[in-house]
Structure 1
């Protein structure tokens, strides 16, 4: 496999604790090893970003400003990521950006100056790896309590935690 030029992460349940419809930056808590995983990528010169569905905006439960403030707090706690892209639409909006559609991955890759096929998407549910596939990227599933057994079975690659996922991605880049 070729070396990943960028690794794109889901936000809630992958990088930070999943607080449903969180609009409060003070409630942002990075998951164990999230900072270490990101530091490992940064040390290797691999770009990072976040691709996140934020349907709370479309549902009227959050404002765009609240999501941006939460993202800024997460970014500060995690040491800074290259880009943050999110879908503000409700699930029934049929937009092109909401995961599992490819729009967020394509836009994040564009902002980072890399091709989607040179990206790996890491997330905790099927929508994350399906968005990767739809965009021509690779996907790694890091199961949590929210991950359904059938999502784990269908995932092209899985890792037990975020740090293991990043190590797997780096190992893939070292193989001929």
Structure 2
């Protein structure tokens, strides 16, 4: 079976600009190209899993996310990296656009996007990872059955460990460190060696 590294987008792959869909403001975070090349060399499929409640809040149309995907593809292609999937959740229970204003199973910390990606790509979730910059990303990965890495870049401010599902396998300072942790992990039955830690749509 295949193995996947699921990647949060804002604050993990690209600089965190809230509700941004302007291609000119999409910038890769430091170390991202090198990290993703390393993961590709390890034969991981790379899939974005991103909450995009700006759709439900009426801040931009769902179609705007196609431009985001195309921009991200272009930026990564310059570095010899390709994405195998780009999934997003447009919903929010407090949204103002009625068709998106709902409680769903795809918005992280729920695992819907990850489960969908694993089924579509024939992947073993136990052999896969979720990388993100907040504990909702970690919880989504743990709920799906992945191992998880939190990028400790200051975007997680609450540190709410209300359940064991919010505890990451590793904590890393940036994407390159996260990729190195994955590449040196033993699987299955790995030993933790450090405490540091497709189409658009769902």
Same fold? TM cut 0.5: yes
Which residue of 108, 121, 138 corresponds with 2:130?
121
Question: C-alpha offsets along residues 36-76 of structure 1, whole Å, 9 cap, x if unaligned?
Answer: 10111112221111100000011110111111211220122
Question: C-alpha offsets along residues 59-104 of structure 1, whole Å, 9 cap, x if unaligned?
Answer: 1101111112112201221232110110010144210000000101
TM-score w.r.t. the length of structure 1 is 0.90
Q: Which runs of 5+ in 1 are unaligned?
A: none
Aligned ranges for residues 1-176 of structure 1 at < 5 Å? 5-78=3-76, 79-92=81-94, 93-148=102-157, 150=159, 154-173=167-186
TM-score w.r.t. the length of structure 2 is 0.79
Higher share of residues assigned helix: 1
Structure with larger Rg: 2
Secondary structure class of the residue paired with 1:140? strand
Deviation at 1:8, TM superposition (A): 0.7
Measured on the aligned residues, the alpha-carbon RMSD in Å equals 2.0
Distance, in Å, in 2 between the alignment partners of 1:91 and 1:25 is 27
Q: Is the 8 A contact 1:83 1:111 kept in 2?
A: no
Q: Which runs of 5+ in 2 are unaligned?
A: 95-101, 192-202
Distance, in Å, in 2 between the alignment partners of 1:96 and 1:160 is 29
Q: Is the 8 A contact 1:120 1:132 kept in 2?
A: yes
